[in-house]
Amino acid sequence: MAVEARSEPRLISVRGAREHNLNDVSIDLPRDKLVVLTGLSGSGKSSLAFDTIYAEGQRRYVESLSAYARQFLEMMQKPDVDLIEGLSPAISIEQKTTSRNPRSTVGTVTEIYDYMRLLWARVGIPYSPATGLPIKSQTVSQMVDILLGMEDGARLYLLAPVVRGRKGEYRKELAEYHRKGFSRVRIDGEIYDLDATPALDKKRKHDIEVVVDRLVIRGDADELATRLADSLETALALTDGLAFADNADDNARTVFSANFACPVSGFTIDEIEPRLFSFNNPFGACPTCDGLGVSSHFDEQLVVPDTRTTLRGGALAPWASSSSRYYIQTLESLARQFNFSLDMPFGDLDGDIQSIILQGSGTMPVTMEFDDGMRSYKTKRPFEGIMPNLARRYRETDSSWVREELEKFRANHPCESCGGKRLKAEALAVKVADHDISDIARLSIGDARDWFVGLSEKLQGQESEIASRILKEINERLGFLVNVGLGYLSMARNSGTLSGGESQRIRLASQIGSGLTGVLYVLDEPSIGLHQRDNDRLLATLVRLRDLGNTVLVVEHDEDSIRLADYVVDMGPGAGVHGGHIVAAGTPQQIVDSTASLTGQYLSGIQSIAVPKTRRKAKKGRRVRVEGASGNNLHDVSVDFPLGVLTCVTGVSGGGKSTLVLETLWKGLARRLHKAREMAAPHKAIMGAELLDKVVDIDQSPIGRTPRSNPATYTGAFTPIREWFSGLPEAKTRGYAPGRFSFNVKGGRCEACQGDGLIKIEMHFLPDVYVTCDTCKGRRYNRETLEITFRGKSIADVLDMTVEEGVTFFKAVPAIREKLETMYRVGLGYVRIGQQATTLSGGEAQRVKLSKELSRRATGRTIYILDEPTTGLHFHDIAKLLDVLQELVESGNTVIVIEHNMDVIKTADWIIDLGPEGGDGGGLIVAEGTPEEVARVAESHTGAYLARTLNSKST
């Protein structure tokens, strides 16, 4: 009787999922397909994809390992779900920055740099920095063969160069060589017996070579070869691997090196191994900067941030905030001696005076007069100078507080020894096709791929055979990175500077390179940070991942991704408590046809984000101008940012948007307006700052790094909430102040859990368990504090409300309601008022910051800068966000948005498009003007997609 083969399930079946806000969700997802989960922010997409499906797949894998292996892995809690069947091994690729470690680069994360190190070690040729000529190591056998190949009858001196161009008398050394049995030595070109050497001038440089052997090339080759080998080994041992063979007849010199030594400069390389090219290994790292490529030191521009300020007015930043009279009296003493005014702008002082103030008076004494309020006294001594003073205090202090304060005046600069290349000179001397390893690591990934493809054709013979497999691995990995839209990055780019989207796509490229099949991949908005043109390549990559035999589950809002999917799940209908249901599921066309699906309504055009009927125009002369921006790949860019309008900065990935807006404009204005420490990217000037009072970068960094931080504390809503509770009759009777209602200080909080609501219990072989505090039952406050209620709700109940519920609850309390309303208006109605900041996504954190700015009193003189604020937002959420941004502009402020989303770009008043390509092919202004004007620019990739969008909305 034949046994029927059990077929593998073709579905991933989820039954009764209740994680976070999921409402008993049950669904069947097809395996080996591209599945997109979409829906409003907070509707439960990530809860289903990551916290349920991926979490269970990962948990099952970890549980299959031995107890010994499990202790080294982070165990995952079983998700709140009744049943999941048909799961494959799961890999999550989330939007998290790869590493904040300054030693981590794109090359090390992708392992491409490891293959490069191997390539340089195996086929690289060392060159002498002094002569520029190749230097090679030789075995003793190779050296012997060279000597035997010389003309018959050649008379040779075999020499060991023990001193090369060094000062000294060397009496002890010469006596030691005589004691070892050597009889002759050549000193500065003359041969002497070792028992009759002349006295050497210790102030002159000398060359000393021990004569190891004198011989004639003739006779029995075997006998001579043995003698040569013995003599060479003796010479090499004396000099750590260097020997000379000088022809007595014509003075021709043959240099032998066992250690890659330059015969002219003596530059040597002990061995060429992959570790020599690692900046994370002491064997290869630059000894000056320890492989970081930068050195930190006090920066005159940070010490004197504004040269238009006078010395009396605080031009010297480290002294400006001090209340001590010592510093002003020091400056007054200098002014008396060197005849200058403290009321003159620092930049107008003579260069010599500026130098004395900053670097000191050298050996010249200065008469200092001081009055400390108790006594007056004079002293005469050289003035140390503010820069040496800061350096000395930084070096000598044991106080972390003092060191932290002084850090404000230090800046990173490329290391002077390695030029920012991170490697020691020996590693940089080794070249492949005339390039050291750092030269290629600094290329963009696209250019590096072209270089390695060309290298395959240049290498010949044995080199080609050795390199072929290494080059295959390098080229494949570079190709995958280009295909996910990262061709503009360089391998030397610090991974801590990558956006979440870039980090995710790097991991995605690595996964494709691994060639795994039968895996469940769960991705979180891989299209973030991608221009529409690059998005097409990304989608092709996801399809390729699927076609390898994998299930690709993507949380995404991008319209092209949704339309390309094999299966779409639309979550909703609302966010938070109003979400957690499956509104529609099926093919993209079935979603379009679903009247219940909000996503379907936007896809079908029933709902849309309208193009404004009119565009704002900046008033004449009201602009901020950046001139000569040349940071990273910017090519001497000069551009105007009009004030009082919504400006979108667009362009392909790597075109230079972030460098122009964040690294140049924001840092330059922040330094000018707020005395910020950050150095702006190189530029000639920023004009128009006097028209502003502040510049605000609303980024996606966390609003707090501890669970004690939450939206209420960040936006300032928690203060009026605590004040409200302390003003209630019962609280007044008990004498409770607002501090009583804080879970961060003693008094009103539960001391058993110190206001956390949870107690951490460490478990062996299992994850740390957080159990609800028995004393307060997770409510964070003690019983007496919780007895104070307003309309039946305690402070703990209020913190557990959603923002939407809080708006209704406090509708009669304007101080609280207004702050909560701003959070509601930016689409955060589903977030709990006291939700831990660590659980908020980057997009949610950005919107919390936006709501805080909205609640401030408008001055009409602020520039708000946002980098991709549509991250994590559904079409419907984007409409709400645009309303908020337009409101900021209507108040007279300026909003500058870096964005790829066409719905945002088409609503802008002004567009600045950078490109035309990424990396070295970008860094230019391709187009600027209104959306309609940019859409007509043929060279603009953004314009091409914008024209389609504007035309489709007008038809």
CATH number at residue 148: 3.30.190.20
Same domain? For 591 and 541 the reply is: yes
Residue 536 lies in a domain: yes
Q: What percent of the chain has pLDDT over 70?
A: 96
Same domain? For 850 and 881 the reply is: yes
Residue 678 lies in a domain: yes
Given 839, 867, 890, which residue is the final one in a domain? 839
Same domain? For 250 and 333 the reply is: no
Q: What percent of the chain has pLDDT over 90?
A: 50
**Res 677: pLDDT:** 65
Mean residue pLDDT across the chain = 88
Same domain? For 831 and 865 the reply is: no
* CATH number of the domain bearing residue 902: 3.40.50.300
Beta-sheet pairing, 924-929 with 910-915: antiparallel
Residue 268 lies in a domain: no
DSSP E strand boundaries for 762-802: 769-772
pLDDT at 5 over 70: no
**For residue 485, how many other CB atoms are within 10 A of its CB?**
28
pLDDT band at 817 (very low <50, low <70, confident <90, very high): very high
**Res 600: pLDDT:** 95
Give the span between the Cα atoms of 879 and 903, in whole angstroms.
9
Q: What is the mean pLDDT of residues 3-11?
A: 58
CA 298 to chain CA mean position, Å: 23
Same domain? For 405 and 439 the reply is: no
pLDDT at 955 over 50: no
Asked if residues 379 and 370 have their Cβ atoms less than 8 Å apart, the reply is yes
Q: How many CA atoms lie within 13 A of 364 on its CB side?
A: 11
- pLDDT tens-place string over residues 120-168: 999 999 998 878 888 877 788 888 888 888 888 889 999 999 888 788 8
Longest dimension (CA), the chain: 117
Give the span between the Cα atoms of 480 and 74, in whole angstroms.
30
> Euclidean distance between the first and final Cα of the chain, in Å?
67
pLDDT band at 357 (very low <50, low <70, confident <90, very high): very high
Q: What are phi and psi of 369, to 5 degrees?
A: -115, 125
Same domain? For 311 and 401 the reply is: yes
pLDDT at 98 over 60: no
- The vertex-942 CA angle with 941 and 948, nearest 5°, equals 100
Q: Determine if the pTM surpasses 0.75.
A: no
Given 446, 468, 498, which residue is the final one in a domain? 498
**Res 6: pLDDT:** 44
Residue 272 lies in a domain: no
- pLDDT tens-place string over residues 890-931: 989 999 999 999 999 999 999 999 989 887 788 999 999 999
Residue 290 corresponds to which tokens in the numbers above? Answer: 């320890």
Given 547, 578, 604, which residue is the final one in a domain? 604
Residue 35 corresponds to which tokens in the numbers above? Answer: 């599945």
pLDDT band at 314 (very low <50, low <70, confident <90, very high): confident
Check the CA dihedral 39-44-47-49 and report its sign. Answer: negative
Same domain? For 692 and 736 the reply is: no
Residue 423 lies in a domain: no
Same domain? For 698 and 846 the reply is: yes
- pLDDT tens-place string over residues 417-444: 999 999 999 899 999 999 999 999 999 8
pLDDT at 2 over 50: no
**Res 251: pLDDT:** 83
**Res 4: pLDDT:** 44
E strand or H helix at 760: strand 758-761
* CATH number of the domain bearing residue 397: 1.10.8.280
- pLDDT tens-place string over residues 224-264: 888 999 999 999 989 878 889 999 888 888 878 887 777 67
Same domain? For 302 and 383 the reply is: yes
**Residue 637 lies in domain:** 611-702+841-955
Q: What is the mean pLDDT of residues 365-377?
A: 85
Residue 278 lies in a domain: no
Q: Which of residues 758 and 735 earns the better pLDDT score?
A: 735
Structural domains in the chain (count): 6
**Res 591: pLDDT:** 96
- pLDDT tens-place string over residues 13-63: 999 999 988 999 999 999 999 999 999 988 999 999 999 999 999 888 888
CA-closest candidate to residue 864, choices 846, 878, 876 = 846
CA-closest candidate to residue 661, choices 646, 648, 677, 671 = 648
- pLDDT tens-place string over residues 638-689: 999 999 999 999 998 888 899 999 999 999 999 888 877 677 888 999 999 9
Name beta bridge partners: 863.
Answer: 695, 894
Asked if residues 437 and 272 have their Cβ atoms less than 8 Å apart, the reply is no
Asked if residues 636 and 603 have their Cβ atoms less than 8 Å apart, the reply is no
Asked if residues 666 and 624 have their Cβ atoms less than 8 Å apart, the reply is no
Collapsing DSSP to helix, strand or coil, 950 comes out as: helix
Give the span between the Cα atoms of 955 and 951, in whole angstroms.
6
Asked if residues 91 and 511 have their Cβ atoms less than 8 Å apart, the reply is yes
**Res 134: pLDDT:** 84
pLDDT band at 9 (very low <50, low <70, confident <90, very high): low
Give the span between the Cα atoms of 361 and 384, in whole angstroms.
7
Give the span between the Cα atoms of 656 and 918, in whole angstroms.
8
Q: What are phi and psi of 187, to 5 degrees?
A: -120, 120
Residue 542 lies in a domain: yes
Burial class (CB in 10 A: 0-12, 13-18, 19+), 506: buried
Residue length of the chain: 955
**For residue 523, how many other CB atoms are within 10 A of its CB?**
27
**Highest mean pLDDT (candidates 67-71, 272-276, 674-678, 739-743):** 739-743
Collapsing DSSP to helix, strand or coil, 478 comes out as: helix
pLDDT at 532 over 50: yes
* CATH number of the domain bearing residue 442: 1.20.1580.10
Q: What is the mean pLDDT of residues 304-322?
A: 85
- pLDDT tens-place string over residues 930-947: 999 999 999 999 999 999
DSSP letter, residue 166: E
Same domain? For 650 and 600 the reply is: no
Same domain? For 820 and 807 the reply is: yes
Same domain? For 316 and 399 the reply is: yes
**Res 1: pLDDT:** 40
Q: What is the mean pLDDT of residues 830-845?
A: 83
CA-closest candidate to residue 303, choices 383, 357, 363, 366 = 357
Residue 657 lies in a domain: yes
